[in-house]
Amino acid sequence: MISPLVIRELGRADYVPTWEAMQALTAARTPETPDELWQVEHPPVYTLGQAGKPEHVLRDIGIPLVKIDRGGQVTYHGPGQAVVYLLLDLPRRNLKVRELVSRIEQAVIDLLAEYGIVAERHDGAPGVYVGPAKVAALGLRIRNGRSYHGVSLNVDMDLSPFQAINPCGYAGMPVTQLKDLGVARTLPQATADLTRHLVAQLEKTQ
């Protein structure tokens, strides 16, 4: 039997130390290491994925840019955004990468359905969308069958920093958030709701 997921609440934490802690946990894993979900909110930061193109950062508005080791292009993290990192042993959960991505997206879709909002995937553009607008972004790194990084859901934040980038590499992509969709949930409430749906997806049988 797979051990229960460990949920860690990190509060507001700087991006780089959190990333380094994910790398350290992943590197030190043994077959007995429990899987963890980390709930966190970051100060303003842009992150550029491994194959990310710097030209997707359109202008410097004073927000730091960190080149990191997940997949995907550039995205923004900031106050009012729910971030959950998934530190998982995929073989132990009998998960392939594509299925993990699908389950993360489904968790967000189910969460928004609970809020009365129809959300969907877009082919070739990981994440979750309401109409044309992106509400949740995801990016993962898999090392020796173990995942880290995860998913971010826009809850109640200043969306203007997204205008200084091509979100996830798509020029002009609109971005939305729960507040603008009429959902009155605080960040802790939305983070807890998202985590609950992620746990449901990760603990269901094949």
Annotated binding residue 70: yes
Distances (CA, A) of 176 to 33, 62, 74, 152: 36, 22, 17, 12
Phi and psi angles of residue 140, each rounded to the nearest 5 degrees, phi first: -130, 155
Q: Is 102 annotated as a binding residue?
A: no
Cα–Cα distance list, 188 to 40, 117, 191 (Å): 10, 19, 5
Residue 198 in marked binding region: no
179 annotated active-site: no
Known binding residue 139? Answer is: yes
CA-CA distance, 149 to 202, in Å (whole number)? 15
- Would the annotation count 115 as a binding residue? no
On whether 119 is known to bind a ligand per the annotation, the reply is no
22, 40, 135, 168: which one is catalytic?
168
Angle, nearest 10°, between helix axes 97-114 and 187-203? 130
26 annotated as ligand-binding:
no
151 among the known binding-site residues?
A: yes
Task: Summarize the annotated binding site as residue ranges.
Answer: 70-77, 137-139, 150-152
- List the catalytic residues: 168
Q: Which residues are annotated as a binding site for substrate?
A: 70-77, 137-139, 150-152
